[in-house]
Structure 1
Amino acid sequence: MPKLKPITYDGRIPKKDKLKRVVENLLTGKEAYDAVIALTDVYTGTNDFIDAADAKAKMAAWVGDNPKFFPHAAQYDFEAWLLPFWSTIQELAKHNKSVPGNQPEKVNHDKPPAKHIQEIFENGKCRDSYVKPRDAKRILEGKDLGVAAAVCPELKAFINTILALCVGELID
Structure 2
Amino acid sequence: MRIAILVEGATEMAFREKLRQFLQSRLEQKMPKLDFKPQHGGIPKEGKLKRIVENLLDNDGYDAVIALTDVYTGKQDFKDANDAQEKMRRWVGKNPNFYPHTALHDFEAWLLPYWTTIKKLAKHNRSAPSGLPETVNHQRPPSYCIREIFSSGTRGKDYNKVIDGVAILKKNDLMIAIQACPELKAFVNRIISLCDEDQIIS
Compute the TM-score of the two structures, normalised by the length of structure 1: 0.96
Q: Deviations over 1:47-84 (max 9, x none)?
A: 21001111011101110111100100101100000000
Aligned to 1:160: 189
Q: Secondary structure at the match of 2:158?
A: coil
- Give the drift of 1:92: 0.3
Superposed displacement of residue 131, structure 1: 1.1
Superposed, which structure 2 residues align to 1:136-147 within 5 Å? 136-147=165-176
TM-score (norm 2): 0.82
CA RMSD of aligned residues (A): 0.9
Detail structure 1 runs of 4+ shifted over 6 Å in the superposition. Answer: none
| Structure-2 residue corresponding to 1:14 | 44
Higher relative contact order structure (alpha carbons within 8 Å, sequence separation ≥ 6): 2
Q: What's the secondary structure of 1:97's corresponding residue?
A: coil
Is residue 195 of structure 2 the alignment partner of residue 171 of structure 1?
Answer: no
> Aligned residues, how many?
171
Residue of structure 1 aligned with 2:132, choices 91, 103, 113: 103
The separation in 1 between residues aligned to 2:105 and 2:114, in whole angstroms, is 17
Q: Distance in 2 between matches of 1:141 and 1:7?
A: 22
How far apart are 1:19 and its partner, in Å? 0.3
Match of 1:25 among 31, 55, 79: 55
Show CA shifts across 1:13-33 (max 9, x none): 00000000000000011x310
Counterpart position of 1:83: 112
| Secondary structure of the corresponding residue to residue 66 of structure 2 | strand
Q: 1:113 aligns with which of 139, 142, 165?
A: 142
Task: Map 1:51-90 onto structure 2 (within 5 A).
Answer: 51-90=80-119
The Cα shift of 1:142 comes to: 2.6
Aligned counterparts, 1:124-143, within 5 A: 124-143=153-172
Structure 1 runs not aligned, ≥5 long? none
1:156 Cα offset (Å): 0.4
Q: Which moved more, 1:121-130 or 1:141-150?
A: 141-150
Task: From the two aligned structures, give the one with the greater helix fraction.
Answer: 2
Percent of residue pairs identical: 57
Amino acid at match of 1:131: N
1:42 aligns with 2:71: yes
Helix, strand or coil for the counterpart of 1:71? strand
Instruction: For 1:73, give the aligned amino acid.
Output: T
Cα deviation digits, residues 117-144 of structure 1 (max 9, x gap): 0000000011211111111111011322
Q: Distance in 2 between matches of 1:102 and 1:138?
A: 24
Question: 1:103: Cα distance to partner?
Answer: 0.1
